[in-house]
Amino acid sequence: MALPTLTTERLLLRQRSLAEVPAILRMDADPEVRRYVGDGRLPDPIEQERRVRERVGTDFGIGFGYWSVFPRDRPDDYLGYVVFSPVPESMDIELSYGFRRDVWDRGFATEAAGAGLDHAFRERGLPEIVALVYPANLASQRVIAKLGFEPAGMRHSYGNDLLFYRLGRDAYLARAADRADPRGRAGGTGGSTWRR
């Protein structure tokens, strides 16, 4: 099933396509971007291209998968991705994201992930989303905290001991109500209410 296109104040999120593969591979060739992915090593370029192309067609279930993220005013300038997918050997649905290094520290991860969470909780009605973060990845810990996730200990996943976070639908909706405009409607623009 196709993912809906989402918009925020600054961003456009659309379902990942083969057209983005060259930009994804350029991003994945940056050692700093890959630092907290898997074992932190750069992947073999041929194998990585095969995996990326395979993931474009992967069905993670209705309403799950990869969104490619672009600036609203430059819809061909690939910034990164947000993905909701099952955690291996678990029933949990995980939020993950990755962005080009040259666009770090601009709030894009928080804004794009927030739009995805809004879809997951409001449109899909999921009861909970989880996040797994390397203990040394302080930037991702800050993003996850801004999004409202709560620490829930450690979990061994993807071959690593990772910080485990949870965000329930009720807690998310309560936070969203706090961000709503004075008329009681979130944002009022038809897009996500997420800002930096």
CATH code for the domain in which residue 85 is found? 3.40.630.30
Give the span between the Cα atoms of 141 and 147, in whole angstroms: 10
Position 35 scores a pLDDT of 79
Distance in Å from the first CA to the final CA of the chain = 29
Mean pLDDT by runs of 10 across the 196 residues of the chain is 90 94 90 76 84 82 85 96 89 93 95 95 93 94 96 92 96 84 38 44
CB distance 5 to 14 below 8 Å: yes
Q: Give me the pLDDT at residue 178, please.
A: 79
Asked whether residue 187 is assigned to any structural domain, the reply reads: no
Residue 196 in any domain: the answer is: no
- 189 part of a folded domain: no
* pLDDT at res. 183: 37
In the prediction, which pLDDT does 140 show?
Answer: 94
Which residues contact residue 158 at a Cβ distance below 8 angstroms, ignoring those fewer than 6 apart? 38, 88, 132
What local confidence, expressed as pLDDT, does residue 194 receive? 43
pTM of the model: 0.86
**What pLDDT is stored for residue 190 in this prediction?**
36
Structural domain contains residue 147: yes
Q: Is 118 among the domain residues? A: yes
43 located within any domain:
yes
* Per-residue confidence (pLDDT) for residue 185, from 0 to 100: 37
Domain with 107 in it: 6-179
H or E segment and range at residue 113: helix 108-118
Count: domains in the chain: 1
> Which pLDDT does position 196 carry in this prediction?
42
Instruction: Determine, yes or no, domain membership for 190.
Output: no
C-beta neighbour count of 7 within 10 angstroms: 15
Whether residue 99 lies inside any domain: the answer is yes
